[in-house]
């Protein structure tokens, strides 16, 4: 994304006032800057290059490239004295300023540069372990009308809901977040929905983003390689609900952590709870208002749902698979009602929503197994996806999955256990092994199985999918889990073209031609 300039003649004083020591700013306060970036490859003439510590490297490792590209100001964290030699050599060429706690201040600097774009949008932040992408896209579809465009920022990309630009991250850098919001305004958006990851919250990437409403979907084991404990993971998620200016929250009351959040913030914020539980009376102390599914009837293509809300009650049909999508739909309904969309209109919009790419995505061919590609990559997500298949289909369930390398290792056997509880056939394979041995990852997954001898394993993901398609009966269902929408497989530092959906379609077409095993 190219640098954008939202205001004319922006000075360092405007961008850094109150964020750095006044004495450090005095000599350079009238310096005019043209852009701000955290990516040395995108630096331009007279830009500010913000260098902070990342997961695997420090921005200062790339400072020379930024300066060669034209950056005239380098900001770096005062705590990073070990990196000082990287800027000392450039001190005579560019302005170098140390900024205390720079990572947490970058969002405010970027917000000032792009003229506080979130202030002019109705903005919803969605967080949770599972369901962020689905809820974000369903809500954006419902908020996008002929008179009011809605954007999305998240896993599948940033931009207007029907014109997303891939980023590769759930929550982009602090500068990219503000820049993307500014782009949405330029494109005519009046609303946006943002997926907010625990990493993004912990690292301050959404600092100075003004959310109107926050949504919490659930919390289950994930990212413990980063957060270490579930308590720390929960605290990171909770930061969204501390956002300055936040007015209302939508919380899943069927989730234990959700009830903790609701209890914590009720009285400070307007709390809309949502639930698929029949024990609705027990949930009333947690929320000001509750959106409740009174009855849920699975069908071949989705659900028939009777719902009760503080603004009306009624019936609607949902053409999405899985109880978790009923829960996701209730979250969207609550957010629409909070945004003063009338109940009948909200139901009408809900019935029109389309599936999200790589989320319970169906691949169907006559007289061949049904294939469902899903992003499920946590134990809870795996269990939910498997249960969803069982809800809607009567054939045997084949489950093909792996676990990512360089990520939470503790969940690997738990993923196997979740699959084993529901699936009739399990095939364990590679996901994105990254820098780990894929065979070692597979062994760690299989160690969680009660009957490992009943499981097939393939390091080659294509071979794993091919085996399932070749062996499954025509009325069986094959769930390919873990990668969903992803179009590449990460092996070491290489990104190899691999899309579960494309592979599955090709192998399904070959099934009766004698090509498969």
CATH code of the domain in which 279 resides: 3.40.1190.10
DSSP label at residue 118: G
Q: What is the pLDDT along the chain (517 residues), one digit of tens a residue?
A: 444 445 557 999 999 999 998 888 888 888 999 999 999 999 999 999 999 887 667 888 899 999 999 999 999 987 766 667 777 778 788 999 989 999 999 999 999 999 999 999 999 999 998 889 999 999 999 999 999 999 999 989 999 999 998 876 656 889 999 999 999 999 999 999 999 988 888 888 999 999 999 999 998 756 566 656 877 877 888 889 999 999 999 999 999 999 999 999 999 999 999 999 978 899 999 999 999 999 999 987 899 999 999 999 999 999 999 999 999 999 999 999 999 999 999 999 999 999 998 989 999 999 999 999 999 998 988 998 999 999 889 999 999 999 999 988 999 999 999 999 999 999 999 999 999 999 999 999 999 999 999 999 999 999 999 999 999 999 999 999 999 999 999 999 999 999 999 999 999 999 876 544 4
- Are residue 332 and residue 390 in the same domain, yes or no? no
Buried b (16+ CB within 10 A) or exposed e, 159-173: bbbeebeebebbbbb
- Are residue 148 and residue 255 in the same domain, yes or no? yes
* Domain end among 56, 87, 108: 108
Domain membership of residue 75 as a residue range = 10-108
Provide the sign of the torsion angle of the four alpha carbons 333, 336, 338, 340, taken in this order.
negative
* pTM of the predicted model as reported, rounded to 2 decimal places: 0.83
User: Distance between CA atoms of 411 and 316, rounded to whole angstroms?
Assistant: 36
CATH code of the domain in which 475 resides: 3.90.190.20
Please indicate, yes or no, if residue 162 is contained in any of the structural domains. yes
User: Distance between CA atoms of 98 and 105, rounded to whole angstroms?
Assistant: 12
- Are residue 314 and residue 457 in the same domain, yes or no? no
CATH code of the domain in which 57 resides: 3.40.1390.10
- Are residue 126 and residue 196 in the same domain, yes or no? yes
- Are residue 232 and residue 334 in the same domain, yes or no? yes
- Are residue 84 and residue 213 in the same domain, yes or no? no
- Are residue 188 and residue 218 in the same domain, yes or no? yes
- C-beta separation of 326 from 245 below 8 A: no
pLDDT at 511: 86
DSSP label at residue 53: B
DSSP label at residue 266: B
Please indicate, yes or no, if residue 496 is contained in any of the structural domains. yes
Residues 6+ apart with CB under 8 A from 483: 358, 373, 375, 377, 431, 432, 489, 498, 500
- Are residue 178 and residue 90 in the same domain, yes or no? no
* Domain end among 328, 350, 372: 350
Cβ neighbour number for residue 375 with a 10 Å cutoff: 25
pLDDT at 512: 76
Please indicate, yes or no, if residue 516 is contained in any of the structural domains. no
- Are residue 134 and residue 271 in the same domain, yes or no? yes
Question: Where would I find the H helices in 270-400?
Answer: 323-338, 343-350, 379-392
* Helix H or strand E encompassing 290: strand 289-298
Please indicate, yes or no, if residue 2 is contained in any of the structural domains. no
- Are residue 39 and residue 122 in the same domain, yes or no? no
3-state secondary structure of 513: coil
DSSP label at residue 207: T
Please indicate, yes or no, if residue 49 is contained in any of the structural domains. yes
Please indicate, yes or no, if residue 478 is contained in any of the structural domains. yes
Please indicate, yes or no, if residue 99 is contained in any of the structural domains. yes
Structural domain total, the chain = 3
pLDDT at 315: 95
Please indicate, yes or no, if residue 355 is contained in any of the structural domains. no
- Are residue 315 and residue 442 in the same domain, yes or no? no
- Are residue 297 and residue 151 in the same domain, yes or no? yes
* Domain end among 350, 369, 386: 350
């Amino acid at each position: 994304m190219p640098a954008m300039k939202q205001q004319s003649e922006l000075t360092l004083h405007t961008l850094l006032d109150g964020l750095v020591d006044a004495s450090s700013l005095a000599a350079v306060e009238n310096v005019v800057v043209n852009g701000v970036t955290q990516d040395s490859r995108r630096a331009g003439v007279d830009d500010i290059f913000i260098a902070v510590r990342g997961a695997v490297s420090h921005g200062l490792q790339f400072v020379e490239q930024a300066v060669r590209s034209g950056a005239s100001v380098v900001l770096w964290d005062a705590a990073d004295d070990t990196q000082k030699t990287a800027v000392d050599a450039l001190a005579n060429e560019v302005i170098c300023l140390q900024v205390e706690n720079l990572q947490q201040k970058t969002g405010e600097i970027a917000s000032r540069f792009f003229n506080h774009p979130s202030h002019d949008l109705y903005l919803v932040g969605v967080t949770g372990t599972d369901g962020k992408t689905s809820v974000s896209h369903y809500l954006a579809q419902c908020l996008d009308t002929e008179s009011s465009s809605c954007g999305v920022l998240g896993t599948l990309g940033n931009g207007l809901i029907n014109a997303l630009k891939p980023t590769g991250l759930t929550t982009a850098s602090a500068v990219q977040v503000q820049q993307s919001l500014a782009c949405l305004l330029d494109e005519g958006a009046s609303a946006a929905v943002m997926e907010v990851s625990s990493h993004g919250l912990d690292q301050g990437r959404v600092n100075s983003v003004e959310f109107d409403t926050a949504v919490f979907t659930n919390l289950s084991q994930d990212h413990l390689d980063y957060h270490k404990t579930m308590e720390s993971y929960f605290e990171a998620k909770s930061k969204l609900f501390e956002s300055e200016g936040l007015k209302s929250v939508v919380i899943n009351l069927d989730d234990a952590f959700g009830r903790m959040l609701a209890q914590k913030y009720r009285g400070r914020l307007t709390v809309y709870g949502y639930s698929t539980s029949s024990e609705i009376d027990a949930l009333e102390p947690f929320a000001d208002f509750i959106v409740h599914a009174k009855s849920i009837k699975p069908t071949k293509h989705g659900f028939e749902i009777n719902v009760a809300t503080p603004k009306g009650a009624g019936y609607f049909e949902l053409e999405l698979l899985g109880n978790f999508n009923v829960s996701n739909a209730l979250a969207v309904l609550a957010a629409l009602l909070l945004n003063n969309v009338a109940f009948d209109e909200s139901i009408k919009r809900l019935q029109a929503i389309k599936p999200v790419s790589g989320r319970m995505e169906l691949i169907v061919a006559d007289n061949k197994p049904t294939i469902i590609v899903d992003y499920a990559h946590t134990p809870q997500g795996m269990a939910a996806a498997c249960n969803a298949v069982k809800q809607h289909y009567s054939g045997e369930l084949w489950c093909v999955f792996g676990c990512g390398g360089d990520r939470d290792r503790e969940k690997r056997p738990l993923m196997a256990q979740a699959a084993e509880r529901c699936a009739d056939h399990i095939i364990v394979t590679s996901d994105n092994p990254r820098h780990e041995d894929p065979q070692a990852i597979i062994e760690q997954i299989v160690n969680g199985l009660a009957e490992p001898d009943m499981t097939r394993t393939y390091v080659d993901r294509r071979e794993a999918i091919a085996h399932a398609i070749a062996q499954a009966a025509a009325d069986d269902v094959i769930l390919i889990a873990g990668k969903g929408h992803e179009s590449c497989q990460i092996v070491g530092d290489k990104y190899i073209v691999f899309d579960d959906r494309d592979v599955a379609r090709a192998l399904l077409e070959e099934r009766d031609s004698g090509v498969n095993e």
